[in-house]
Amino acid sequence: MRFLNTLLLVSACSLPSFSYALNVEPANWWVGMNKNNITVLVHEQNIANEEFKLDKYKGVELNNVTRTDNPNYSFLHLNISDNAKAGTLKFNSTNTAHSFEFPLFTRDKNSAQRQGFTSADALYLINPDRFVNGDSTNDTVKSMLEAANPGFKGGRHGGDIQGVINALPYLNNLGVTQLWLTPVLENNMPDYSYHGYAITDFYNVDPRMGSNNLYKTLSIKAKEQGIGLVMDMVLNHFGAEHPWMKDKPTQDWINLNGQFENGKNATSHARQTIQDPHASNYDKRQFSDGWFVASMPDLNQRQPLLNEYLIQNAIWWIEYADLSGIRVDTYSYSDKAFLSDWTKAIMDEYPHFNIVGEEWTSNPAIASYWQRGKVNQDGYVSSLPSVMDFSLQEAVIRALNEDEGWSTGWVKVYQSLANDFLYPDTNNIMVFADNHDMSRLYTEFGQDLAKTKMAMTLFLTTRGIAQIYYGTEILLDNTPSKDHGDIRIDFPGGFKNQNANAFTGVGLSKNQRDMHETISTLLNFRKQSPALAKGKLVHFSPNNGVYSYARVSDTQTVLVFMNKNKVTQKHNLDYMQEVIPKNANAQALFTQHTFKLTNSINLEPMTATVLVINTP
């Protein structure tokens, strides 16, 4: 049985009046879960004055009910034992109008053993509103505060989940193995709601994106194409139009008394305070408790009921939508003890799952602090499997834009990767050229095709999990603007009245077609390459404008040469003998030319050369 979300109607006067409807979160659970003690949030006017009883159900007990300082909430604590069967729980209230049913479902077979994304995968990051408009009937929804405005770079353009479903054959052919969509949950904000990071309902997809059922359909159809689904989750903050802002479950649900105070309570963004052994408690709180902006209030994950709510919400979406991973926005901004609880609960439920946290720092000492297995000086224990490699992203941009020198050029990449000793699991680091929050790669290189191809070859052949931003394969560009609305540009072919179509190739330039072929070749090679999936990385100090490395597995060696010189380079291979099998025959990935390796190779100017050596 479905329940409507709480309805909050704001009157024209300064003091809001409320109209309530019974709201239950989550709407269901599953039997056979490791997480078998759950808390059901019930919201309705003066609901705390009512008594709830659970009809007798074998294997399920209502342990107790928590009432808070807000009489409009009750939290029902259930224990679902291992011998409980699927069925429907019936909760009776002293107000019969508030009695409700709560389904217990059977889990999909082997759900707990699901495989998360790995270093064999390539994730394709999509801003759904800017990708494909698959259903124009939901561009504007009357119940949502913001209507479609495709002519405004910061407005909603109409892309949706159906559009992503329609694009699945294209993505499969491109070589994508995982999809990461920026948040598709309800963002009922008055403006700039398209990005998805100001969530106003943690359990429902935004109707302008589709529905929960359609999101599940995307997951099913993507898996039919061999593609997994990664959900972008926000734990640190939420949208200011969420009902919680007008009717907080507890007084301490939101940090800093639930007030932004004209920026006084803004976050310091000083992420280093979390690891700093000398940092004051004041500075730590300014970072973790401060708000991003007034429209994104900061959640207090130290509140036990909120802690439980966020853990259950993540597990519910994994189970409901059959997810293969989670990307966590602004990871380190949340309370770090909560983050330990949250990641552990998910990994206990799904031991082979994967979660990547966004820690936007070029300092690997800070980023590595969060990865599972790291022994930290302060004793902090994390269960987060993966982090994002902002250090390498920055190093590659600088390396290709700088002249070669003792401390410039390729050495920046070499030094970044040399810091891998800080990470407990270097294969489980996500590498990327750009994303939805930074200028596009082609823009950073001043529309230089050669540099863009070299960079993407590096990111798709080095160690770690590869991530590509939508449109990189066709050189999408935000020059000269750095506005997020321009970075998150409409995908050609996804909307009406566009001159180019990436899905058919019509209207694409020669350079765009060249880039698409390069990316497709690399991504499809990754799908079947044991060396790129799990092979050891061995790299060599840059020399004469060439950076070279090998990915080595038992059955395959991949050699990569990055030549920044503007002339052909006759490159001696004697220094690489430790990674080149004897009497090796190599195949050039991009030309398919096969030849016997000698002690030198000709490297074309401003080109990445990839050689594949298969060993029996």
Give pLDDT tens digits for 498-540. 999 999 999 999 999 999 999 999 999 999 999 999 999 999 9
Q: Is the pLDDT of residue 11 over 60?
A: no
Q: Identify the active-site residue in 160, 201, 335, 358.
A: 358
Burial of 14 (0-12, 13-18, 19+ CB in 10 A): exposed
Q: Is the pLDDT of residue 291 over 90?
A: yes
Closest alpha carbon to 538 in 426, 428, 452: 426
Share of the chain above pLDDT 90, in %: 95
Look at residue 16 in the predicted model and tell me its pLDDT. 38
Residues 6+ apart with CB under 8 A from 186: 199, 200, 201, 204, 205, 206, 207
pLDDT band at 263 (very low <50, low <70, confident <90, very high): confident
**Sheet of 536-543, strands arranged across:** 536-543, 546-552, 556-563, 607-614, 585-588, 594-596
Provide mean pLDDT across the span 57-73. Answer: 98
Q: Identify the active-site residue in 160, 329, 335, 490.
A: 329
- Look at 2 and 340; give whichever has higher pLDDT: 340
Provide mean pLDDT across the span 398-407. Answer: 96
Q: Is the pLDDT of residue 372 over 50?
A: yes
Q: What tens digit of pLDDT does each residue of 154-197 get?
A: 999 999 999 999 999 999 999 999 999 999 999 999 999 999 99
Rounded Cα gap, residues 133 and 161, in angstroms: 8
Look at residue 13 in the predicted model and tell me its pLDDT. 29
pLDDT band at 18 (very low <50, low <70, confident <90, very high): low
Closest alpha carbon to 128 in 185, 200, 191: 185
Chain-wide mean pLDDT for the chain? 95
Q: What tens digit of pLDDT does each residue of 448-507 get?
A: 999 999 999 999 999 999 999 999 999 999 999 999 999 999 999 999 999 999 999 999
Cβ–Cβ under 8 Å, residues 90 and 55: yes
| Residue 90 host element (H or E) | strand 87-93
Domains of the chain: residue spans and CATH: 23-107 (2.60.40.10), 113-234+297-531 (3.20.20.80), 535-614 (2.60.40.1180)
Look at residue 12 in the predicted model and tell me its pLDDT. 28
Q: What tens digit of pLDDT does each residue of 109-162 get?
A: 999 999 999 999 999 999 999 999 999 999 999 999 999 999 999 999 999 999
Look at residue 19 in the predicted model and tell me its pLDDT. 58
Catalytic (active site) residue 329: yes
Q: What tens digit of pLDDT does each residue of 548-597 get?
A: 999 999 999 999 999 999 999 999 999 999 999 999 999 999 999 999 99
Catalytic (active site) residue 55: no
Q: What is the DSSP string of 163-216?
A: HHHHTHHHHHHHT--EEEEPP-EE---SSS-TT--S-SEEEEE-TTT--HHHHH
Residues 6+ apart with CB under 8 A from 51: 93, 94
Q: Is the pLDDT of residue 32 over 60?
A: yes
Cβ–Cβ under 8 Å, residues 455 and 468: no
pTM of the model: 0.95
